[in-house]
Amino acid sequence: MKRQPLDDSFKVSRNPVTLREMVLEKLRSAIMNFQLLPGDRLVERDLCERLGVSRTSVREALRHLESEGLVEFADAKGPRVAIITLEDACDLYELRCVLEGMVVQLFTLRARAKDIRALERALENNRKTLQDGELQQVLESVQDFYDVLMEGSGNDIAAGQLRQLQARISYLRATSVSQINRRGSSNQEMERMVEAIKSGDPIAAHKASVDHVRSAAKVALEYLEAKQEGAKAREIVPPIALKDPRIGM
């Protein structure tokens, strides 16, 4: 038998994505896409069977999602999909107004020409994705847009704070963009933000950013108020009613 030379097929394939990361992404995606709803119990045995993995992998993924605020261990019954209350949502949107407004303002002052071009590309990709993309694709395209802003702002601490909140922000973003007519409005608001940035007006850019967050907040809070079981009957003052957060520059 003639010896065949060893070719590239002999190489060991190294998958950079670990099993734990795959399980984590599957569970996170199921929450973001509303396949798993707030309050749903996350029974390890059932998840192991559905995912075809060990309890260790599931348990590690659930603990990571707990750190992101998407899963909670509320009682002796075990983990469940976290319930983001109206008060929680208001707090998150208020914080987004401050942090994202500052990031956009700093980006306007500090961005280089290549940063502006990257932002324009991200905006165009977001526009196309919002038209006919799946929810997960929309969330990724919006996050890409904000990643450019955070990178160009030059403030690593503000960017780090936003990234720590990313999972919960994305969940609320999924709640808003999944509502009728929100996608078109969202892109128009982002276009106004980019135009203000390109004009070199940090105050206008800040206002456009805050207006964008408030519009998303209005849609998401109305949805949560209508659908969330057990929400306390009390007056909620949404971020749209709050005074503009001012960033001293």
Confidence of residue 244 (pLDDT cuts 50, 70, 90): very low
pLDDT at position 241 = 47
Say how far apart CA 248 and CA 235 lie, in whole Å.
31
Q: What is the pLDDT of residues 76-128, one digit of tens each?
A: 788 999 988 888 999 999 999 999 999 999 999 999 999 999 999 999 999 99
Q: Is the pTM of this model over 0.85?
A: no
Question: Distance from first CA to last CA of the chain, Å, rounded?
Answer: 78
CATH T-level fold of 86-241: Four Helix Bundle (Hemerythrin (Met), subunit A) (1.20.120)
C-alpha to C-alpha distances, 80 to 24, 71, 74, 120, nearest whole angstrom: 15, 6, 8, 39
Instruction: For 186-196, write each residue's pLDDT tens digit.
Output: 989 999 999 99
Q: Residue 228: which pLDDT band, with cuts at 50, 70 and 90?
A: low
Residue spans per domain, the chain: 16-81, 86-241
Q: What is the pLDDT of residue 13?
A: 46
pLDDT band at 213 (very low <50, low <70, confident <90, very high): very high
Task: Categorise residue 230: left if φ over 0, alpha if ψ from -120 to 50, beta otherwise.
Answer: left
Computed over every residue of the chain, the mean pLDDT equals 84
pLDDT at 238 over 70: no
Are 216 and 169 in contact by the 8 Å Cβ rule? The answer is: no
Cα separation, 246 vs 249, in Å, equals 9
Q: What is the pLDDT of residue 8?
A: 57
For tokens 């065949």, the residue is 4
The pLDDT assigned to 112 comes to 96
Q: Is the pLDDT of residue 182 over 90?
A: no
- Per-residue confidence (pLDDT) for residue 3, from 0 to 100: 44
Of 70-74, 162-166, 240-244, the one with minimum mean pLDDT is 240-244
Closest by Cα among 57, 99, 102, 89 to 216: 89
Question: What is the pLDDT at residue 159?
Answer: 93
Taking Cα atoms as reference points, which of 201, 206, 189 lies closest to residue 246?
A: 206
Q: Residue 211 burial (CB < 10 Å; 0-12/13-18/19+)?
A: middle
Mean pLDDT, range 207-233, rounded to an integer: 81
Q: Which of 143, 140, 144, 137 is nearest to 118 (CA)?
A: 144
In whole angstroms, what is the distance from residue 84 CA to residue 129 CA? Answer: 27
Joined together, the tokens standing for residue 7 give 């070719």
**The pLDDT of residue 155:** 96
pLDDT of residue 181: 73
pLDDT computed for residue 158 by the predictor = 94
Q: Tell me which fold the domain 16-81 belongs to.
A: Arc Repressor Mutant, subunit A (1.10.10)
Q: What was the pLDDT predicted at 5? A: 53
β-partners of residue 80 are: 41, 72
Residue 90 carries which side chain, given as an amino acid letter?
C
* Cα separations in angstroms, 55 against 26, 43, 181: 15, 10, 41
